[in-house]
């Protein structure tokens, strides 16, 4: 195959199993407000969603502007404190990304999380020098399932969306990639196949993944 390809990774639930720690942070955050969401509610209204959506949903009113910034900072600070001692990539991720990089695949990360969370994970998962595009929530106006973050990633990488494969674990994230005209690999860390839109491939981890498997998707 002689045409260039790009692989773009979401972060939470795709690079690392962060969602259990986001749940812990949100539980602590909501408990101080006498709220106790169930795991089912988190699965439906937290994983893959923006903080503006999550906070507005659970606090039952629009959370915007300065209040959103303050509440988001409180919750994400809790998450970083809770998760920092446990940062570890999903099995097989590091050798997989090295294989892609060694085969001249363009690489990016596109997350709905704030940049401080991305910085924390990249401080422990040593892939930064391999990335041609790094985008967090501060870099877009519209959040997933809007395709903005993935279209910007393709633009940063200098490649057409139809030559991109996105690794995603959430319905909104996979939908964003599909809306951008990209192929999608569903990472089953937070949801089952039935809970995601139709993807080109589904994986539990990266132990069986390789450059060849990615190129075969085209």
Single out the residue in 59, 85, 111 at which a domain terminates: 85
**Cα–Cα distance between 133 and 131 in angstroms, integer?**
6
Tell me, yes or no, whether 1 lies in a domain.
no
DSSP class per residue in 30-88: HHTTT----HHHHHHHTTT--HHHHHHHHHTS---HHHHHHHHHHHHHHHHHHHGGG--
Looking at the structure, do residues 79 and 109 belong to the same domain, yes or no? no
Looking at the structure, do residues 193 and 103 belong to the same domain, yes or no? yes
- pLDDT tens-place string over residues 135-177: 998 999 998 899 999 999 999 999 999 999 999 999 999 999 9
For residue 22, which of 74, 86, 88, 78 has the smallest C-alpha distance?
78
Q: Which domain holds residue 165?
A: 6-17+88-215
Distance of CA 57 to the CA centre of its chain: 20
Single out the residue in 37, 58, 85 at which a domain terminates: 85
Structure tokens, 144: 């997933």
Tell me, yes or no, whether 199 lies in a domain.
yes
Task: Write the DSSP symbol of residue 23.
Answer: H
Contact 191, 47 (CB under 8 A): yes
| pLDDT > 90? residue 125 | yes
Structure tokens, 46: 């937290």
Looking at the structure, do residues 70 and 97 belong to the same domain, yes or no? no
pTM of the model: 0.90
CATH number (domain holding residue 209)? 3.40.50.1000
- pLDDT tens-place string over residues 184-207: 999 999 889 999 999 999 999 999
């Amino acid at each position: 195959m002689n045409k260039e390809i790009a692989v773009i990774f979401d972060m939470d639930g795709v690079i690392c199993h962060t969602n259990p720690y986001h749940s812990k942070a949100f539980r602590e955050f909501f408990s101080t407000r006498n709220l106790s969401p169930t795991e089912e509610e988190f699965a439906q209204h937290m994983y893959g969603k923006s903080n503006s959506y999550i906070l507005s949903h659970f606090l039952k009113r629009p959370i915007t502007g300065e209040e959103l910034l303050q509440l988001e900072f409180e919750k994400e600070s809790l998450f970083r404190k809770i998760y920092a001692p446990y940062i570890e990539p999903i099995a097989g991720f590091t050798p997989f990304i090295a294989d892609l990089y060694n085969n001249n695949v363009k690489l990016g990360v596109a997350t709905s999380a704030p940049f401080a969370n991305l910085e924390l994970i990249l401080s422990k998962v040593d892939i930064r020098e391999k990335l041609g595009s790094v985008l967090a929530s501060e870099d877009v106006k519209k959040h997933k399932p809007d395709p903005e973050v993935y279209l910007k990633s393709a633009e940063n990488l200098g490649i057409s969306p139809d030559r991109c494969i996105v690794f995603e674990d959430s319905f909104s994230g996979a939908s964003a990639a599909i809306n951008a005209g990209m192929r999608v690999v569903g990472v089953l860390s937070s949801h089952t196949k039935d809970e995601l839109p139709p993807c080109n491939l589904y994986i539990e981890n990266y132990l069986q993944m390789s450059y060849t498997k990615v190129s075969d998707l085209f």
